[in-house]
Structure 1
């Protein structure tokens, strides 16, 4: 049985395209895709694509807007139609507090899901492969989430504030000052966005969606609930501190309607949460660099 032997190349024959000619050198494959040095902007663009592509973003932000606008307009309509005189010194913008407090749970949930959900699906491996700089990935997530949360909160709170002032027309409610408008819209929006950013960082550290959401909701509600059941006089100082530094009370400070006569005032709650969030960011980066994904 004979075997077919391929013909030997003749001397001087041209070499195939994939083979270097005798005495020549092979330059290698050159990709038509331009190679560029990646930077934070690329990571931000990637995270923006992710956050606007998943359904959880639309659901959580949709529920947030419904709670803030729905409860805010309902409270404004009830107070406006009650016939009560609102000529006192209270800030009329404080009627939007209840909707923002409940809506903050939606922002907390979205913040946790922005990071922790990638660990649940395994997407975090793809993310870190595409961008090996882990600190850059976390910074990009933080930037994108904070801007989204702040813009949505500012739009919802501003709309509710203007609508409530219209509903309260004729009740004797005073017009808020410029400083009260700033704190009741921009200030509280910064606070809620930072609260959501803190949730994002906690989700990165815990890497478990349900656990991080439970922890953050507990941090929002537990201090106030615990303080309400401290009846012993020996715990007066502890109860007062829990009241003063609970998140609901700090949010109410933006409307000059604190639950206590001491503790944070003015813009203090914003500086407090900035410090806590900065410390959490450092801790999240350290853990992210040390642990496997």
Structure 2
């Protein structure tokens, strides 16, 4: 009697090949989300969302506006209260906005550093670079968005203070500013401070440490002037004069035709100096960003 044999296993049926949907990486699947090539506009939108949604932006810009308006208007009010109808004869009333902008520039520099360095501190930079692998595009987007924000806020604040000071001091004998003086005291100085903040942003990208970069930039702002004050010997005269002439406070005063020294930068020279420094630092920050890991 023969033993029944088990049935032979059947070969699996051939699965028909499915054509991949046009434009889709998976067979038979089409993404409902349109796939587009990313560009600088997407990076700008991302950086704008970040800079307007973090609390540090509101705090630093809020303190900046408070300093520019408060100190500037207070200086104008004190001059108006202690001046008669001829004591300010021939003086430029716009020059009293210098004090508030000098103090407020620290806030712009702080915000510039935090725009880049804070992402390294929190690790958010990894997410940024994953979403946008092009490091040149990331650095360009951060720079453009920050520069635009710093320029607009500075222009609005300095313009308001300038208008109030001119109307406040018109009875003290102060002369009426010319169109060129108005332009330099508003647009010119706003460009300079925005470039100073951009320089701070690039320093933060290089150092990658918020406290260290802020400390360094405050030293750049104040150290030359402080060092010059203590150089009393005759042999250091040329060094002292150079530090006075090219210190940031003196370059700011040039926009009001009220330089601390008779020689040195004049006209629009401070703006070109700061533009050159920012361009050199941008090249260095970009080179390091490409060569270092995040």
TM over 0.5: yes
Once residues 222 and 90 of structure 1 are traced to their aligned partners in structure 2, the CA distance between those partners, rounded to angstroms, is 30
Structure 1 unaligned blocks of 5 or more? 1-7, 13-20
Partner residue in 2 for 1:25: 18
Once residues 231 and 219 of structure 1 are traced to their aligned partners in structure 2, the CA distance between those partners, rounded to angstroms, is 21
SS of the residue aligned with 1:234? helix
Once residues 256 and 186 of structure 2 are traced to their aligned partners in structure 1, the CA distance between those partners, rounded to angstroms, is 10
Aligned residues: 278
2:214 pairs with 1:213: yes
Once residues 95 and 116 of structure 1 are traced to their aligned partners in structure 2, the CA distance between those partners, rounded to angstroms, is 34
Give the structure-1-normalised TM-score: 0.92
Once residues 122 and 101 of structure 1 are traced to their aligned partners in structure 2, the CA distance between those partners, rounded to angstroms, is 33
SS of the residue aligned with 1:170? helix
Partner residue in 2 for 1:62: 62
Report the Cα offset of residue 24 of structure 1: 2.7
Partner residue in 2 for 1:127: 128
SS of the residue aligned with 1:90? coil
Once residues 190 and 32 of structure 2 are traced to their aligned partners in structure 1, the CA distance between those partners, rounded to angstroms, is 46
Partner residue in 2 for 1:17: none
Once residues 88 and 244 of structure 1 are traced to their aligned partners in structure 2, the CA distance between those partners, rounded to angstroms, is 27
Once residues 73 and 283 of structure 1 are traced to their aligned partners in structure 2, the CA distance between those partners, rounded to angstroms, is 39
Distance 1:99 1:70, change over 3 A: same
Report the Cα offset of residue 92 of structure 1: 1.4
Contact 1:96 1:161 in 2 (8 A): yes
Matches within 5 A, 1:78-117: 78-84=78-84, 85-117=86-118
Give the structure-2-normalised TM-score: 0.92
Contact 1:86 1:174 in 2 (8 A): no
SS of the residue aligned with 1:109? helix
SS of the residue aligned with 1:176? coil
Report the Cα offset of residue 90 of structure 1: 2.9
Report the Cα offset of residue 81 of structure 1: 1.3
Contact 2:150 2:197 in 1 (8 A): yes
Partner residue in 1 for 2:3: none
Contact 1:80 1:169 in 2 (8 A): no
Contact 1:115 1:204 in 2 (8 A): yes
Once residues 255 and 124 of structure 1 are traced to their aligned partners in structure 2, the CA distance between those partners, rounded to angstroms, is 40
2:34 pairs with 1:38: no
Structure 2 unaligned blocks of 5 or more? 1-8, 21-25
Query: Over aligned residues, Cα RMSD in angstroms?
Result: 1.7
